[in-house]
A and B are shown apart, each in its own frame.
Chain A
Amino acid sequence: MDAIPRATAPDADADDRNAAGLRRDAWRERLALFGLCSPALLLVLLVLVIPAGWLFVVSFVGADGGFSLENYERMIEHKSYARIFRTTFEVSAITTIVCVVIGYPLAYFLAGLPDRWAAICLITVLLPFWTSLLVRTYAWLVLLQKQGLVNQWGTALGLWAEPLKLVHNTGGTLIGMVHIMLPFLVLPVYSAMRAIDRDLTRAAAGLGAGPVRRFATVFLPLSLPGLFAGGLIVFVLCLGFYVTPAVLGGGRVMLVSMKIASNIELFVNWGAASALGVVLLVLTFAILWLAARVVRFESLAGGGHA
């Protein structure tokens, strides 16, 4: 009777040793695999995290070289800073809204096309997506200037009498920003729409829903996550946008990013620039963090350059 436990006891020991060995091996291997990430992590640490930390520290250093909150206090006291933040939010919000209004129908149109036509029409979204931001900004500068094509055609067609001032102002900045940002909205919305099962709208039609009701109660809700992700990407990219507003705004549209740059280029005021940078970064991450609680994080990582 008691032969059985005596016989199994050494075996159980061996099993334990084996299991421990396997666990150790598995652990070691996972560690080695983990090591594969370390060069990439090191690079991010070196070029992004350390400089960001440094700027964070600098933002708390006052003019006398000691610890001070003066860089942040200045932001609250001076009306100009509040105005810059307001302009930044307004410009970003308007750009996002316009992108949604004109980008959603385009994505809807593309998603309804047969595969081959969709692939061809999608080039019109991908081409600007991959074309240099600077080239596209330059194109708008050329088109919108006083003797530019838009003014030439506008006056020739009698739409307006005098050449209008279309660039180096908020209007020009918005046109350029919408143009740059539109693919960032259309692409996620398009892929969300392609994933919608069309049988659902067909079922709604079979049950007697008209076109408007079908769209409003079936299609639109299903496409909302994509629209949300796209709108969020656009808004966040706009908050830190530099190149296009700097060129098309001609210095008259002051955004946070441009204030940061001018604080360094013109005034060499690292404290002020860093404090603005910290605020911009905290705002950006707060928005992303809030959004990540609503939709999956990976769907936000659309990719791109702005």
Chain B
Amino acid sequence: MRRWLASPASETQITHGERLWLYALAGLVMVFLVAPTLIVVPMSFSDSQYLEFPPAVWSTRWYDHYFSSPEWMAATRTSLLAALLTTLVATPLGVMAAYGLHVSRFRLGRLIFVALITPMMVPLILVAIGAFYVYVRLGFLYTMTGLVLAHSVLALPLVLIVTAAGLRSYDMNQEMAARSLGASRARAFLTVTLPQIRFSVITAALLAFLTSFDEVVVAMFISGGENATLTRTMFNALRDQIDPTIASISTIMIAISSSLIVLAQLFGKDRR
């Protein structure tokens, strides 16, 4: 231990001992980042009406409550369906736009790129009330179509950025070669380019799914009735009281997002 403390931590001969303050600070910040979320996991397995840590009596009571509640189940189905449909809409649209912008090199391209990523910069509350205002008049309010359209707009920038980054590291001459051998542009894209940027596209699709699944503010305004999303139902429940059922749902959502990160990391590794 003492030898490690005295050993150099960088090429410039600063020892680990001299850096202990940095390690301590970084450690604390990492705990701050992770602990609050993870502590919900054991709490959700408590038998108590009040969230305890560590739980005095362990049980799956709140999970049973979640899975047997028609309201929570309907909300979960809505969220999963909306996320799936959003992925199916936003991914092709985003990939098409990224490809078009990448290949055409239009002078307008930069402007279009910025226009397509604006949904990321506009405060969500404004997207929400704007969509609400228009949907009321179009009869889209509380419909799956309306929800998927709005979520697709939010997911579009992420798909575009991730796919554009994938295209930048791809050698376009391969597509040229395919086309000089007689393939049409569409065929060259589908059989040569797409398979090679597939990891970016898959990552983009995962992001689109999560964007929709986790989205709260827009869903609060334009989803409702039998098409109320899980996050909307959770948000409303949070405002009233601290319902332990939400701890169990949170645990499930943490499990979903962790497995998606692992997937994304695995695909990311392959790319290198």
Bind each other? yes
Q: Are A240 and B126 in contact (CB under 8 A)?
A: yes
Contacts of B5 on A, CB cut-off 8 Å? none
Which of A3-11, A108-116, A157-165 binds B? Answer: A108-116
- Give Cα A243 to B234, complex, Å: 12
Chain B residues, CB < 8 A from A142? 40, 43, 51, 242, 247
Which of A110, A147, A277, A288 is within 8 Å of B121, CB to CB?
Answer: A288
Q: Given A55-B126, A288-B121, A108–B39 Cβ distance below 8 Å?
A: no
Whether A36 contacts B96 by the Cβ 8 Å rule is yes
Q: How far is the CA of A127 from the CA of B35 in the complex (A)?
A: 11
Report if B112 contacts A (CB, 8 A).
Answer: yes
Q: Mark B78-103, 1 if CB is under 8 A from A, else 0.
A: 00000000000100011011011101
In the complex, the answer to whether A141 meets B214 with C-beta atoms within 8 Å is: no
Name A's interface SS: helix
Contact A128 B253 (CB under 8 A): no
Complex partner residue of B153 from A43, A112, A285, CB under 8 angstroms: A43
Task: Give Cα A241–Cα B101 distance, bound, in whole angstroms.
Answer: 31
Given A37-B112, A110-B26, A242-B124: A139 touches B250 (CB 8 Å cut-off): yes
Chain B contact-residue range equals 35 or more
Task: Judge if B235 is at the interface, Cβ distance under 8 Å.
Answer: yes
Q: Which residues of A contact B257 (CB under 8 A)?
A: 127, 130-132
B122 sits at the interface (CB 8 A): yes
Q: Is A140 an interface residue (CB 8 A)?
A: yes
**A100 within 8 Å of B (CB atoms):** no
Complex: how many Å from CA A172 to CA B129? Answer: 27
Query: A residues within 8 A CB of B114?
Result: 297
**What per-residue 1/0 map shows which CB atoms of A14-49 lie under 8 Å from chain B?**
000000000000000110011111011101101110
Chain A residues in the interface with B (C-beta under 8 A):
29-30, 33-37, 39-41, 43-44, 46-48, 50-52, 54-55, 58, 102-103, 105-106, 108-110, 112, 121, 123-128, 130-143, 145, 147, 149, 179, 182-183, 198, 201-202, 205, 211, 214, 236, 239-243, 246-247, 257, 260-261, 264, 270, 273-274, 277, 280-281, 284-285, 288, 297, 301, 303-306
